[in-house]
């Protein structure tokens, strides 16, 4: 074997290493995610090379295995991926390869002269620093690597302090083996339990088998990467129960892929029920972001609007960099684009479920709406961008509809009489708003399909007087009103109205119906 050669890290890399190793980086556990994701990338590259014929079929399983030795404080991560040649080791581990690290160093160059200031250390958490993140926890790192079909393997070794050693090595299996010797104070990361917990959190759906001390750690497949027709209902149910920590089957499943404007693979589920109706705490967002099966943001609040928090699932977009940063303008724009595509897709899906013309399981949709309508109404109230699309999902009771069925605003419009012109009335004999939030939702929506939404309770409906029926005199009317207010116990005031057509009188409240119900709830609470 050749002699060991000592090489200096590229100047920028040194700077980066210094900051990584010395900063108070709060999420040190992410080093494993970075290493496992590199292993997964290496396996993807091998698969690609074999599929495209640029490499021979390598021997052995495509897998990642992790072994722990908590006594020695070592952690070994082995993959049978593409492997690295000597030049690759120099180029990939000796210089800054990852886009996150590059951006980080760029940021340092932009903000500070010498870079390694305390302020710089604080921003490190916003960047994924790839391979170098191992130096947050490792005293030194040894990398053994060999490409499939290559004669010689190599060993790369560094303590992250400015230089690394490189030598040829024998008995190196094809692929890459990384041995982390943990710092004394970070040995907790070498326990099998810690590794398993870490994998569950960040790498459950890596698309290759991952084992810890010989036992398979990831049982769940990356279902969203499969073709829609290849996933069974039972697999969906299992996956849904896993990610939503639910016990039932999903009510709706939306599995889709897109290439434009972004490459997206997504699996969305809508559960049977939700905890908020029991007065439990507000739910967290339910969709996690992956990039090529590596978890980027668990339960991300950037993927769907908050009112869609009842949607559970995963989104995988290879257009999203692993080290996506909240601070970067470019990344924020990308996330907004992604969010717009996803939320519109969810809306379209639900609109289709509820599309009575297509008669697609209308009963099922009504059951969905009865369970989740409050979220839709929240969207109508709060989501400036999507409120009119969300309004298409609304359903209401109506006197014109059969009891126990609900109508959409579109159905209502289809049945409107010409006298109504451009106004959708809500109250009795029109749309019945029965839950407290309804009225707020309607007031926020203000109009639908170009028609004004008006509470019939509040409306000053003008009905043309009937010339053939003689009106009573103003004097008689006034006397009648006074008498009514005195003689009828619950009436506090009586007045003349021009809105009645077939009835001589109507009883109205001085607050809105929703207000009365709220007061009723308060009263009931006191009793």
- The annotated binding site for ATP is made up of 34, 38, 79, 84, 92, 99-100, 126-131, 176, 326
- Give least dist CB 39 to Mg ion, A: 9
Is residue 198 a contact point for Mg ion (CB under 5 A)?
A: no
DSSP letter for 458, please.
T
| Residues 40, 294 contacting (CB under 8 angstroms) | yes
147 binds, among Mg ion, ligand ADP, none (CB under 5 to 8 A by kind): none
Q: Hey, how many other C-beta atoms are within 10 angstroms of the C-beta on 230?
A: 9
- Give least dist CB 34 to ligand ADP, A: 5
456 binds, among Mg ion, ligand ADP, none (CB under 5 to 8 A by kind): none
**Would you say 130 or 153 has its CB closer to Mg ion?**
130
Q: Choose which of 17, 19, 38, 120 interacts with Mg ion (CB under 5 A).
A: 38
- For CA atoms 30, 90, 162, 115, give the dihedral sign: negative
- Give least dist CB 59 to ligand ADP, A: 17
79 binds, among ligand ADP, Mg ion, none (CB under 5 to 8 A by kind): ligand ADP
Q: Evaluate the omega torsion of the peptide bond into residue 261 and state whether it is cis, within 30 degrees of 0.
A: yes
Is residue 133 a contact point for Mg ion (CB under 5 A)?
A: no
| Residues 34, 131 contacting (CB under 8 angstroms) | yes
Among left, alpha and beta (phi > 0; psi -120 to 50; other), residue 245 is: left
**Would you say 218 or 374 has its CB closer to ligand ADP?**
218
**Would you say 78 or 398 has its CB closer to ligand ADP?**
78
- Give least dist CB 28 to ligand ADP, A: 16
| Residues 378, 438 contacting (CB under 8 angstroms) | no
Residue 63: what are its φ and ψ, rounded to 5°? -155, 165
**Would you say 40 or 444 has its CB closer to ligand ADP?**
40
- Give least dist CB 525 to ligand ADP, A: 57
Span interacting with Mg ion, options 34-42, 158-166, 346-354, 409-417, rule CB under 5 A: 34-42
- Give least dist CB 405 to Mg ion, A: 54
Known binding-site residues equal: 34, 38, 79, 84, 92, 99-100, 126-131, 176, 326
Is residue 130 a contact point for Mg ion (CB under 5 A)?
A: yes
- Give least dist CB 378 to Mg ion, A: 39
Residues that bind ligand ADP (CB under 6 A): 34, 38-39, 41-42, 79, 81-82, 84, 92-93, 97-99, 130-131, 176
97 binds, among Mg ion, ligand ADP, none (CB under 5 to 8 A by kind): ligand ADP
CA distances 296 to 30, 201, 287, 302, Å, are: 11, 11, 11, 12
Span interacting with Mg ion, options 20-28, 36-44, 296-304, 432-440, rule CB under 5 A: 36-44
What is the rounded distance in angstroms from the CA atom of residue 79 to the CA atom of residue 60?
Answer: 11
42 binds, among Mg ion, ligand ADP, none (CB under 5 to 8 A by kind): ligand ADP
Span interacting with Mg ion, options 37-45, 222-230, 390-398, 428-436, rule CB under 5 A: 37-45
Instruction: Identify the helix (H) or strand (E) that includes residue 257.
Output: strand 252-258
- Give least dist CB 181 to ligand ADP, A: 17
84 binds, among Mg ion, ligand ADP, none (CB under 5 to 8 A by kind): ligand ADP
DSSP per residue, 150-189? -S-EEEEEE-SSSEEEEEEESSPPSEEEEEEEE-GGGGGG
**Would you say 83 or 271 has its CB closer to ligand ADP?**
83
What is the rounded distance in angstroms from the CA atom of residue 225 to the CA atom of residue 253?
Answer: 15
Q: Which residue is nearest to ligand ADP (CB)?
A: 130
Structure tokens at 466: 């009937």
**Would you say 165 or 355 has its CB closer to ligand ADP?**
165
The long-range contacts involving 251-258, CB below 8 angstroms and separated by at least 24 positions, are 251/364, 251/367, 251/368, 251/371, 252/349, 252/350, 252/353, 252/368, 254/313, 254/345, 254/346, 254/349, 255/224, 255/228, 255/231, 256/228, 256/345, 257/228, 258/341
- Give least dist CB 148 to ligand ADP, A: 11
**Would you say 68 or 92 has its CB closer to ligand ADP?**
92
| Residues 396, 389 contacting (CB under 8 angstroms) | no
CA distances 381 to 279, 377, 399, 440, Å, are: 20, 6, 25, 7
176 binds, among Mg ion, ligand ADP, none (CB under 5 to 8 A by kind): ligand ADP
What is the rounded distance in angstroms from the CA atom of residue 289 to the CA atom of residue 322?
Answer: 10
- Give least dist CB 40 to Mg ion, A: 9
CA distances 504 to 53, 236, 500, Å, are: 87, 59, 7
**Would you say 41 or 362 has its CB closer to ligand ADP?**
41
**Would you say 47 or 517 has its CB closer to ligand ADP?**
47
Rg over CA atoms, the chain = 32
Q: Which residue is nearest to Mg ion (CB)?
A: 130
**Would you say 16 or 311 has its CB closer to Mg ion?**
16
Buried b (16+ CB within 10 A) or exposed e, 261-277: ebebbbbbbbbeebeee
**Would you say 127 or 307 has its CB closer to Mg ion?**
127
Please state the separation of Cα 23 from the chain's center in Å. Answer: 30
168, β-bridge pairs: 154
20 binds, among ligand ADP, Mg ion, none (CB under 5 to 8 A by kind): none
- Give least dist CB 88 to Mg ion, A: 14
Residues that bind Mg ion (CB under 5 A): 38, 130
């Amino acid at each position: 074997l050749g002699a060991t050669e000592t090489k200096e890290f590229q100047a920028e890399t040194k700077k980066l290493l210094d900051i990584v190793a010395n900063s108070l980086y709060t999420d040190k556990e992410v080093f494993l995610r970075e290493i496992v994701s590199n292993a997964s990338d290496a396996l993807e590259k091998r698969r690609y090379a074999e599929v495209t014929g640029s490499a021979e079929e390598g021997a052995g399983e495509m897998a990642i295995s992790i072994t722990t030795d908590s006594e020695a404080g070592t952690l070994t991560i082995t993959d049978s991926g593409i492997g690295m040649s000597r030049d690759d080791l120099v180029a990939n581990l000796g210089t800054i390869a990852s886009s996150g690290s590059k951006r980080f160093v760029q940021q340092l160059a932009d903000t500070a002269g010498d870079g390694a200031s305390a302020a710089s250390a604080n921003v490190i958490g916003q960047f994924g620093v790839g391979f170098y993140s191992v130096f947050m926890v490792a005293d030194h790192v040894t990398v053994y690597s060999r490409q499939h079909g290559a004669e010689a393997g190599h060993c790369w070794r560094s303590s992250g302090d400015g230089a690394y050693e490189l030598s040829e090595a024998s008995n190196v299996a094809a692929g890459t083996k990384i041995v982390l010797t943990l710092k004394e104070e970070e040995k907790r990361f070498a326990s099998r339990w810690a590794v398993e917990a870490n994998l569950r959190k960040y790498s459950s759906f890596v698309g290759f088998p991952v084992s810890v001390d010989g036992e398979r750690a990831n049982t769940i497949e990356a279902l969203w990467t499969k073709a829609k027709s290849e996933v069974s209902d039972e697999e969906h149910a299992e996956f849904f129960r896993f990610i939503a920590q639910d016990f039932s089957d999903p009510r709706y499943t939306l599995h889709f892929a897109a290439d434009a404007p972004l490459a997206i693979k997504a699996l969305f589920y809508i559960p049977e029920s939700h905890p908020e109706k029991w007065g439990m705490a507000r739910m967290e967002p339910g969709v996690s972001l992956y990039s090529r099966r590596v978890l980027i943001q668990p339960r991300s609040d950037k993927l769907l609007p908050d009112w869609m928090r009842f949607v559970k699932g995963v989104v995988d977009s290879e257009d999203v960099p692993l080290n996506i940063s909240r601070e970067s303008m470019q990344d924020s724009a990308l996330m907004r684009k992604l969010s717009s595509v996803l939320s519109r897709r969810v809306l379209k899906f639900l609109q289709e479920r509820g599309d009575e013309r297509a008669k697609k399981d209308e009963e099922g949709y009504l059951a969905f709406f009865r369970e989740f309508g409050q979220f839709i109404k929240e969207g109508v109230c709060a989501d400036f961008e999507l409120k009119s699309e969300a309004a298409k999902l609304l359903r209401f009771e109506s006197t014109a509809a059969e009891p126990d069925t609900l109508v959409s605003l579109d159905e209502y419009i289809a049945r409107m009489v010409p006298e109504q012109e451009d106004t959708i009335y809500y109250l009795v004999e029109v749309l019945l708003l029965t839950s407290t939030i309804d009225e707020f939702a309607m007031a926020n929506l203000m109009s639908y399909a170009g028609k004004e939404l008006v509470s019939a309770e509040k409306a000053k409906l003008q009905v043309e007087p009937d010339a053939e029926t003689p009106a009573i005199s103003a004097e008689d009317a006034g006397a009648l009103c006074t008498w009514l207010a005195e003689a009828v116990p619950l009436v506090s005031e009586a007045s003349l109205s021009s809105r009645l057509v077939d009835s001589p009188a109507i009883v109205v409240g001085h607050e809105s119906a929703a207000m009365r119900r709220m007061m009723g709830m308060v009263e009931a609470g006191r009793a």
